[in-house]
Amino acid sequence: MGKFHIAIDGPAGSGKTTVAKLVAEELDFGYLDTGAMYRAIALFLHENGIKESDDKGIDEVLSKVVFEYRDGRLYLNGKMVGDEIRTVEAGMLASRYAANPVVRKHLSRLQRDIADDRKMVVEGRDIGTVVLPDADLKVFLTASVEERAKRRWKELKEKGGNISYKEILKQLKERDERDSKREVAPLKPAEDAVVIDTTNLTPVEVVYKIVKIVMERLKK
């Protein structure tokens, strides 16, 4: 089998990353976390003093940026992208910069280049609608905002983060509002996406549902 793209979209805390990684592992596909690309770029631009409203500055920098996908890891300008992008601040920065059409234009192109002729699970917020509109399977994961906040709080707590559940809930609601109402590539399911509510499902149960659909489509 040559190219086969699985697009997994959904809001923060819906289980995208865990599920996408497990699906890729189960099927022996490559895995691309586009959210990591947005976080890495947002931090990169922020640290270089380029504001999210500076279209010209962003265009100049991103036209020279090199993203590579090697052995399942992302590299930005030759440097491996690590845990520095997993902070609450990086997430908020990513949401702000992602609203800029210039940022989305460049990163969508880079994401398509990486996925190109591969068997790939690609996760993000606009994969099925914008980045890979012809994906072989489009999945949109959702969950209640309270459940998503609880998951994110536990995840950050395990990493030693010191932030309250209430604060994370507030931030997620703000991010949902911003991501779903932005003019460019708003967060929404593709018309032909399979929507799965993960609120009361384990990651393994979600993976089982997705892999079952993939196997059925491959038979056809």
Q: Which pLDDT tens digit goes with each residue over 60-116?
A: 999 999 998 888 788 999 999 998 998 888 988 998 998 899 999 999 999 999 998
Q: Which pLDDT tens digit goes with each residue over 146-203?
A: 999 999 999 888 888 788 999 999 999 998 888 888 887 888 999 999 999 999 999 9
Q: Please, are residues 8 and 127 in contact by the beta-carbon 8 Å criterion?
A: yes
pLDDT of 220 over the 80 cut: no
pTM of the model: 0.87
Show me where the domains of the chain are located: 4-219
- Fold that domain 4-219 belongs to in CATH: Rossmann fold (3.40.50)
* Average pLDDT of the segment spanning 123-127: 92
pLDDT of 1 over the 70 cut: no
